[in-house]
Amino acid sequence: MTGSSAPANGTKPKQYSYYPGCAIKGTGIAYEESLLEVYRLLGVAWQELTDWSCCGAQAYMTVDAGQSCMLSARNLRIAYQSGSHDIVAPCSACYLALRKCKDYVERYPRMREVVGDFMPASDLQAIANVRVRHALDMLYVDIGPSAFRARATRPWPGGKVACYYGCQAVRPYSEVDRDGNPMRMDELLEAVGVPVAQWPLKTKCCGSSHTGTLHEVGVRMGYLLLKEAVRRGAEAVITICPLCQFNLDVYQKDMTRSTGESFDIPILFLPQALGWALGADHRALGLHRGISGAETLRRWFAGPREGASDG
Amino acid sequence: MTAVSSAAKRQPVPEGWTPRIVAFFCHWCAYSAADLAGVDRRTHCSDLRVIRVMCSGRVDPQFVLDAFAKGADGVLIGACHPGDCHYVDGNSKALRRFVLLRRTIEALGIEPERLRLEGISASEAERVRAVAEAMSERLRALGPLSRRAFVSSAETASDPNGEGAHG
Amino acid sequence: MADAPRIGVYVCHCGANISATVDVAAVAADAESLPNVVAARHYTYMCSDAGLALVQADIRELGLNRVVVAACSPHLHEPTFRRALASAGLNPHLLQMANIREQDAWIHTDRESATRKACDLVRAAVHRVALHTPLDIRKAAVRPDVLVIGGGIAGMHAALTVANAGKHVYLVEREFSIGGQMARYDKTFPTLDCSLCIQAPKMTAVRTHENITLWTGSEVEEVYGHVGDYRARIRRRARYVDENLCVGCLQCVDACCYDGDLIPDAFNMGLSGRKPIYLPFAHAVPTVVAVDPGSCLNFTRGGCDRPCTDVCGRDALDFDQTPWVEEIEVGSIVVATGFEPFDARKATEYGYGIYPNVYTSMEVERLINASGPTAGEVILRDGTRPQAIGVIYCVGSRDERYNPWCSRVCCMTALKLSHLLCERTGAEVYNFYIDMRAAGKGQEEFYQRVLNDGVQFVRGKVAEVCDWALDPSEEGKLVIRVEDTMTGYVRRVPVDMVVLTVGMSPRSDSDELRRTLNVGCSGDGFYRERHAKLAPVGTLTDGIFIAGCCQGPKDISDSVSQAGSAAAEAIALSVKGSYDLDPITARVVAESCSGCRVCMPLCPFGAIGYAEPGGKCEINAALCTGCGACVAGCPSGAIRQGMFDDAQVFAELSGLLLGAGSGSSGSASGRVPPAVSLQPSAEATGSALR
């Protein structure tokens, strides 16, 4: 897949390597739809990485860091060879795996050896030139709040939102945003007129890694997040990671069951909200896909006015 | 990263070969940093041999050519960072000479990467280690310096013990 | 150089520091076969009396006229060995050191290659020293006056010590009062002395001492020269008040027409406000007000009625004052510029700057101080009084994200503040620490005392301070989340007030002053001492000494000890009256000079002149610093330099590279004797020695 809408003036825009990762193609499809829609509206040129493979994140990293790193190195090499040296990963787990790979190869001779078994030394050196970008980092730094403010055409139809950054985007590398009280997502959303609730749990673990094994523990961690978000006046939570989004979205009934407190709030992706402000169609942004808070989403985005154009 | 494409004829690397690097370190910054690397026990390759000079501005281009002629596989000049020179701007004098010298050695058939100039402040012990390792790694890739091409011309140019025989 | 060189080579074991990695016997044996070497020995400690005696005996008995010592860095013991040569009747500059400790044994682990390297370095030194010539040491006069930079406790103590020895001191302080950080503290650990009570007499003594010229509101702008003869330019800010007329009655402050005390008071860490005309703090020395041109209406709006001028009975206000520069000449400089408290905003997880009731330890010092913004009452920013207080240790210390070092004083500061907060508020006080470091005199005892106060201790690094409640007991509180490593549980401790015990950072502008003075910093950004153990107050620049926290975190007692030591060094120089300059200066060999004058712009110190009649360049030895830029630049090779002459460096190179890469084969085996063999290969010695 590629996307480009080169400006008429003939200057060639910077092209990004787009690395979707597995979650984006599955449960997080709305993230991809909305991000690429935002790119289309802003004229961002991108090219999906040819023949990309698993990033090696999550459990793989803990079982065999070398093999995991090798997978990421392979993807970085493809990005380098494509000539588009900024690789954008919307998924925080992918971002971290790719970023870690670069760091480990640079720092640890042993890791260079392991990965070096799979590729020539020149390729290993080449990946040092690839810049690993999280989608938030790219949207904030390369486009920026003022550009979004200038392009925003549609008011926010909903209530306050809480920005949830999750753990992997900001830790251990504080390149996407600082690890304590990150603000970039807040700033982007405020720029397009979305009211933001401030809360202290922006980077607290969502429990995603636990829901498969210690389900009750994982669900409780998600519950603490949503409870506090609601207490601070948020009616939706905006995320930048398909794993966080999934975890907070699909287990709300379990939360209600285990605590007796009723939860049904939408969990959105950042580009869904940004794309809305830019005037995108609600289906093009995947705003019809959420599990929880479906009623709220319909009320906000597919009201009579929007519904008419939807048909 | 471009592949090395130099005029130098590549020699087969003899077994057990290690690069010989002559380092001219200024007394105030680079030499102090090298001492600090020792105090901190920052273990690194033993290819570097340091010659202390008061200032990187003292490094006569002849020193560098002579080092190559006498068997060095690489020459490193360790200077203060810009603005840090104990003698105001000796490091910028070294930089000017370095740029010309790199061209000169290339003309002599020596890969320019064999000569490096690095700013190393007195506190940067880690940098000494990193630079030594990086340079050694690079030289190991390049192999021993082939001296056939230039030794005769360089030897006539440098007359180490004679006074006033430069130029 | 009438006599042929007779060289002695001495290889030091340095206990096992060198000999554990380098085969010292093999190095000595290798040296024995080098040209002109008469004796080569190795010994446990060459720098010891016995080691030096060994060298001296050889000089006398074997008629040595050159010496090579393979040991530590010349930075450390070159002076020691030079003295030994001199007392055995040899010119001290007939010595060359080979650095086989810092730059060999300490950075390598492979014995064979380390030994090979040591052999190379010794061979280089042997070749070089043969060309050394006796040099005469130039003596430079030392100006008796001393400049002390920084008027905190260290600077004041250094200034007083020098002044009491009868030498004149210029004490330069950036703020409009001396006193430094110590003036902010309420009490000092572990004795709980009132900080100001013990410091105030010193401040007064500095102000009134006949041998001290005190310049507050002043900064060192430029320093040039060398040991014994430093010239400094001191920029003095305008305070718009005549220091000699103002008596500190403060009527002008009361009269000032600026509405309200709105300007954050820096001395009170911004916890209170002041007017544009102000006294830095209640016990400021000199007790003279200053005008802040950034807020005074006379400057910001181009004029006001100036009630301050009207009310001043001594006509002390002077709005026409402009900054001016004082130029002074001193023999040595003591740097005592102190530290900066760590900026707690950087540690975002602790919520400083987000939650109003999170304080730094420096703020709490003011908060509990009787002369502080609340007159010693612990009233929080939201007007409440705390029932529970959490004290977090190691904020900005022992943290690889910011400052990896231990700031040394914070454990004791935290204990002191816990004790005082406990005493003054009756609140429940919780301490969260990683390790308790109470190593100084009386400090462990103080820890025990605070334990008995009933203060709670939780061992664990705090994860975060937040304001979200898990249950009703936490509503409206700050919650400290921490892993209690004693019990293995993650705890949530709700409190009303959080105290962040901030560590010490180098001053943010320490790098600027470092450049001005030409001294070094360690990796942490604090000024680097000449030697950590043996020259803790010296720097690599002779005649510049460091004291107090600019060298590294330390408490008041250590700062004062170090200041006394730095002052003693300055006094020693001043009393001696002269200083030996290294004879590394350059000189022009007139016969070879073509008079092209290429060297003249190369000299950073304008030491090179051109003599018209002869058409030759000349170097003024008094101005030459021996950098050698002109030596390298002379196209005729007409400039010679003591200790760094071309021939000496070429000889060093020859020795270093002997046998290396000779011919295009680049043979590895032929260049160096293997570490175990005592006999160098014939071709290695044969080819290059004559």
DSSP SS3 for A65 = helix
Cβ contact A294:A282 at 8 Å? no
Query: How many other CB atoms are found less than 10 A from the CB of residue A239?
Result: 28
- The reported pLDDT for the residue numbered C137 is 86
pLDDT digits (tens, 9 = 90+) for B53-103: 999 999 999 999 999 999 999 999 999 998 788 888 899 999 999 999 999
SS3 content of chain C, % helix, strand, coil (to 5): 30, 25, 45
Tens-place pLDDT, residues C348-402: 999 999 999 999 999 999 999 999 999 999 999 999 999 999 999 999 999 988 9
| Residue-level pLDDT at B150 | 56
For residues B63 and C486, give the distance between their C-alpha atoms in angstroms, rounded to a whole number. Answer: 62
Return the pLDDT at C659.
66
pLDDT of residue B2: 38
ipTM above 0.95 for this complex? no
pLDDT of residue C669: 34
> Which residues in chain A are contacts of B3 at CB distance < 8 A?
122
Is B137 a residue whose pLDDT tops 90? yes
Report which secondary-structure segment, H or E, holds A301: helix A294-301
**Average pLDDT, whole number, for chain C?**
92
For C179-236, what is each residue's pLDDT tens digit?
Answer: 999 999 999 999 999 999 999 999 999 999 999 999 999 999 999 888 899 999 999 9
Whole-number pLDDT of residue B4:
41
Specify the pLDDT at position B16.
83
- Sorting pLDDT into bands at 50, 70 and 90, what band is B8? very low
List the end-to-end C-alpha distance of chain C, in Å, as a whole number.
18
pLDDT digits (tens, 9 = 90+) for C156-177: 999 999 999 999 999 999 999 9
* Beta-carbon-side half-sphere exposure of residue A189 (alpha carbons within 13 Å): 29
Please measure the distance between the N-terminal and C-terminal CA atoms of chain A and give it in whole angstroms.
27
Assign A52 to helix, strand or coil: coil
pLDDT tens-place string over residues C560-569: 999 999 999 9
Q: Are C104 and C629 in contact (CB under 8 A)?
A: no
| Nearest CA-CA distance, residue A90 and chain B, Å | 29
Query: Any idea what the Cα angle at residue C449 is, between residues C444 and C452, rounded to 5°?
Result: 130
Closest among A288, A205, A194 to A241, alpha carbons compared: A205
Q: Output the DSSP codes for B90-150.
A: HHHHHHHHHHHHHHHHHHTT--GGGEEEEE--TT-HHHHHHHHHHHHHHHHHH-SPP-TTT
- A5 part of contact set with chain C, CB < 8 Å: no
Instruction: With beta carbons under 8 A apart, name residues in chain B contacting C668.
Output: 14-18
Q: What is the dihedral of CA C637, C640, C645, C651, to 10 degrees?
A: 50
Residue C662's pLDDT band, with cuts at 50, 70 and 90, is: very low
User: Are A125 and B1 a contacting pair at CB < 8 A?
Assistant: yes
Question: C348–A180: do the CB atoms touch at under 8 Å?
Answer: yes
Q: For chain A, which residues score pLDDT lower than 50?
A: 6, 306-311
Q: CB count, 10 Å around CB of A127?
A: 26
C-beta atoms of C632 and B66 within 8 A? no
Strands C478-484, C462-466: parallel, antiparallel or unpaired by DSSP? antiparallel
Interface of A with B (CB under 8 A): 122, 125-126
Residue C545 pairs with which residues in a beta bridge?
A: C334, C538
Shortest Cα–Cα distance, C661 to chain B (Å): 4
Tell me which residue in B123, B160, B166 faces C522 most closely, judged by beta carbons: B123
Contact C646 B62 (CB under 8 A): yes
Q: Is the pLDDT of residue C539 over 80?
A: yes
Are the C-beta atoms of A135 and A18 separated by less than 8 Å?
Answer: no
CA gap C530, C426 in Å, rounded: 48
Say yes or no to pLDDT of C665 above 90: no
* Backbone phi, psi, residue C396, to 5°: 80, 15
Distance CA(C559)–CA(B146), nearest Å, equals 58
What is residue C234's three-state secondary structure?
Answer: strand
Tokens of C276: 């544009």
Amino acid identity, position C276: P
Please determine, for residue B24, whether its predicted confidence score (pLDDT) is greater than 80.
yes
Q: Which residues are bridge partners to C328 per DSSP?
A: C232
State the Cα–Cα distance between residues C130 and C331, nearest whole angstrom. Answer: 36
pLDDT of C581-640, one tens digit each? Answer: 789 999 999 999 999 999 999 998 888 999 988 899 999 887 888 999 999 999 999 999
Element (H, E) at C212: strand C212-215
Task: Pick the more confident residue, C471 or B154.
Answer: C471
- List, for residues C34-61, the tens digit of each pLDDT value: 999 999 999 999 999 999 999 999 999 9
CA distances in angstroms from C508 to B35, B72, C316, C357, C511, listed in the order given: 26, 42, 34, 26, 7
Asked if C660 and B15 come within 8 Å (Cβ–Cβ), the reply is no
For the beta sheet containing A236-239, the strands, ordered from the edge strand earlier in sequence to the opposite edge, are A196-197, A161-164, A236-239, A267-269
More confident residue, A121 or C328: C328
Considering only residues C6 and C678, tell me which one the structure prediction assigns the higher pLDDT. Answer: C6
Retrieve residue C492's tokens.
């949530």
Q: Do A181 and C348 touch (CB under 8 A)?
A: yes
SS3 of C593-648: the string is CCCCCCHHHHCCCCCEEEECCCCEEEECCCCCCCCCHHHHHCCCCCEEECCCCHHH
Among A249-263, B35-49, C655-669, which is the least confidently predicted range? C655-669
CB-based contact (8 Å) between B3 and chain A?
yes
**Cβ atoms within 10 A of the Cβ of C594, count?**
14
pLDDT band at residue C495, thresholds of 50, 70 and 90? very high
Touching partners of B (3+ C-beta pairs < 8 Å): A, C
pLDDT in tens, A8-40: 555 667 899 999 999 999 999 999 999 999 999
First to last CA, chain B: 37
Torsion of CA A191, A193, A197, A203, to 10 degrees: -40
What's the gap in Å between the CA of B3 and the closest CA on chain C?
A: 23
* DSSP letter (8 states) at residue C527: B
Q: How is A166-187 classified by DSSP, letter by letter? A: -STTTSS-TTSS-SSS--HHHH
C-alpha to C-alpha distance for C157 and C566, rounded to whole angstroms = 10
The phi and psi torsions of A148 (rounded to 5 degrees) equal: -65, -40
Listed range (C41-45, C100-104, C450-454) with the worst mean pLDDT? C450-454
- In DSSP terms, A15 is beta-bridged to A45
Under 8 Å between Cβ of C632 and B98: no
Residue C690: pLDDT band with limits 50, 70, 90: very low
List all residues 6 or more positions away from A28 whose beta carbon is below 8 Å from its beta carbon. Answer: A90, A91, A242, A245, A246, A269
- The four Cα atoms A298, A300, A304, A307 give a dihedral, to 10 degrees, of -60
Position B69 scores a pLDDT of 92
What pLDDT, on a 0 to 100 scale, did the predictor assign at position C660?
64
- The residue type of A41 is L
Q: What is the pLDDT of residue A180?
A: 83
C475 lies within 8 A of chain A by CB? no
